[in-house]
Amino acid sequence: MARNRFDEDEELVQEFKWSHYKRVGEYVTPYKPAIGKVLIVIILANIASMLGPYFMKIAIDDVIPQKNLQLLAIITVVFLLSLFFIAWCMRYRILAITEIGQDILKDMRYSIFEHLQRLPFSYFDNRPHGKILIRVVNYINTLSDLLSNGLINLISDIISVIITLAFMFFIDVKLTLYSLILLPILFGIVMIITTKQRKAYQHLSNKQSNLNAYIHESISGIKITQSFAREKENARIFDEVSDEYRTAWMKAVKIQFLLWPGVQNISVLTTSLIYFIGIRQIGVDVSTGTLIAFIGYINNFWNPVINIGNFYNSLITATAYLERIFETMDEIPDIQNAPNAQVLPPIKGQVTFENVVFRYEEGKNILDGVSFDITPGETIALVGPTGAGKTTIINLLSRFYDVNEGSVKVDGFDVRDVTLESLRTQMGVMLQDTFVFSGTIMDNIRYGKLDATEEEIIAAAKVVRAHDFIKELKDGYNTVVEERGSTLSAGQRQLISFARALLADPKILILDEATSSIDTKTEELLQEGLQQLLKGRTSFIIAHRLSTIKNSSQIFYISEGKIAEAGTHDELIEHKGLYHYLYQSQYDLVRVS
């Protein structure tokens, strides 16, 4: 899964292994007791279903010729009772299997979602989100029938075949062997078809993933699409991607549906063969009742064989999706706890970078030998041109990425030697892309501190000047906002993020362009709250609006992966270097406007 375009097929990094079926079995294991009950019911139902042909044989060969009406009535009543029993067993099986199957799917979906939560930023940066989403929803859903009905039905059908063969051998060994004569042909057909089928469904999964990725991308960018009146062009692209999916689907199902006619035809040929042999008495000597009973057993034999063939068909289809599901689950997080990672104790907020070098994969160094030592409570502003490495510094501090060389330490602890949870729970991060989740405003502010009281939430909102606009909303703090906070302005989303960060009460606070979407008037109000937010915390602020960082303890001018200048605002202005030029340019621009 290494490509980042909707129109490029994903390369399958790891081919499917038979051991992967064992992994599916691990999800089945917790439900063995429930499955065992279903199997007992299935066995009893299969035994009951064997009574019909056997009663018919007795009736034709013995009861009717002897005109034994009393025995005929008993057989009829027992036969009817067996039908009612079979019907009850079928109802129980359907309900129980469906519940078990959905529980298994729920566990698998949880596993992949939980694993995605631990994958690093780089994983999501390099992949269309639609191609990730389809694994959690669509691909898991394709396993529904396989796990809800297929697995239990397979066991049921195998038991049915065994019981049926036992009855058949009990009645007539030669006829039974004649009934199995066409099985090798069936196995040959299955092997030919399934090889082509798996490749076809691998191709289909690619096209399905591409389509989902384009839909997700188009919905995410709908505002841009309408702004540039690009609807027709996007519809044309969608039609192409959708047509590729349709073509792959038709090819896959054409191959899949070849198996059923093959099995069905062999079943009919077998039945015809037994009629021919039984009537002509070729190598056998059977009564009419025996022949009729045997034909009934042949149907009981081939019906589960057909079902087993369909299950194998479904298994091959599901294999193409299991490959993708397990590929995601096997993605090793670049950032994870070291084997001997310790819990980071409550911190004071000292931050040290020692000769830090960082680069993305095999590219050039983004940071090249960066070193600094920040004492607790200092406010550090990071400024400089786009791409200089400002955001990289805070990403390394939060351990969203790991350094290539050097070390990042908090209170003397290397961030790679402590658990991620203990590190990040003591930090408050406001990234440039302010994210508001669907739900109430109160829930969004409470996101970083789930046990916060309503009073604490309101107090935090007041400090960052979010309270005034919140209380004017229809339902105040209980106002429900849409996904990504689309019903709020960019400035309102940032104020909510400020309140969220303050409520978490972190010792290290990171603000990445935190005031970029706030108007000047709101910013003036926010500055008062911001000073309280920064008070007593080690803070890192990335800001292009230099008026917001004049009071910082130190300002680092980052250029070409290095700290080109460092000092207070007044010191750097007096130095008349890069920061002075940047500040003067911005000041002149504001004055002209």
531 part of a folded domain: no
Is 335 a domain residue? no
351 and 481 part of one domain: no
Residues 349 and 428 sit within 8 Å (Cβ to Cβ):
no
Q: Are residues 189 and 238 in the same domain?
A: yes
Q: Do 118 and 198 fall within a single domain?
A: yes
Q: Which of 279, 297, 329 is the last residue of a domain?
A: 329
Beta strands in 473-537 (DSSP E): 480-481, 508-512
Tell me the CATH number at 294. Answer: 1.20.1560.10
Query: Per the structure block, which two tokens stand in for 271?
Result: 């039945």
| Position 336 in a domain | no
Please check whether residues 491 and 589 belong to one and the same domain: no
Specify whether 126 is located in the same domain as 208: yes
Per the domain annotation, does 10 fall within a domain? Answer: no
Query: Within a domain: residue 2?
Result: no
Query: How many alpha carbons fall within 13 Å on the CB side of residue 260?
Result: 9
Tally of structural domains, the chain? 3
**CATH number of the domain bearing residue 552:** 3.40.50.300
Task: Tell me the pLDDT of the chain (593 aa) as tens digits.
Answer: 444 566 666 665 555 566 667 788 888 889 889 888 888 888 888 788 877 777 777 888 778 888 888 888 888 888 888 889 989 988 888 888 888 888 888 898 888 888 888 887 777 777 777 778 888 877 787 777 677 667 667 777 887 788 888 877 887 788 778 777 777 777 777 777 767 777 787 778 788 888 888 887 887 777 778 877 888 888 888 898 889 889 888 888 887 777 667 777 777 787 777 777 767 666 666 777 777 777 777 777 777 777 777 777 777 777 777 878 888 888 888 788 888 999 999 999 999 999 999 987 767 889 999 999 999 999 999 998 888 889 899 989 999 889 999 999 999 999 999 999 999 888 888 776 677 887 889 988 988 788 889 999 998 888 888 888 899 888 899 988 876 666 787 778 878 888 888 888 888 998 887 666 566 666 666 666 677 677 788 999 887 777 678 888 999 999 988 999 999 999 999 988 998 888 887 765 444 44
CA 401/CA 121 separation, integer angstroms: 8
**Per the structure block, which two tokens stand in for 491?**
């400035």
- Take residue 265 and report the two structure tokens written for it: 């035809």
Nearest 5°: phi and psi at 412?
A: 85, -5
Kindly state whether residue 16 falls inside one of the protein's structural domains: no
Residues 46 and 184 placed together within one structural domain of the fold: yes
Q: Which of 296, 329, 362 is the last residue of a domain?
A: 329
Phi, then psi, of 345 in degrees rounded to 5 = -70, 170
369 is a domain residue: yes
Residues 245 and 312 reside in one and the same domain: yes
Residues 56, 62, 64, 67: what is their CA dihedral angle, to the nearest 10 degrees? -150
- 227 and 310 share one domain: yes
Same domain, 296 and 409: no
- Distance between CA atoms of 392 and 406, rounded to whole angstroms? 14
Do 100 and 220 lie in a common domain?
Answer: yes
Structural domain containing residue 456: 435-505
Same domain membership, residue 185 and residue 96: yes
Sequential DSSP letters for 271-300: HHHHHHHHHHTSS----HHHHHHHHHHHHH
Same-domain status, 168 and 234: yes
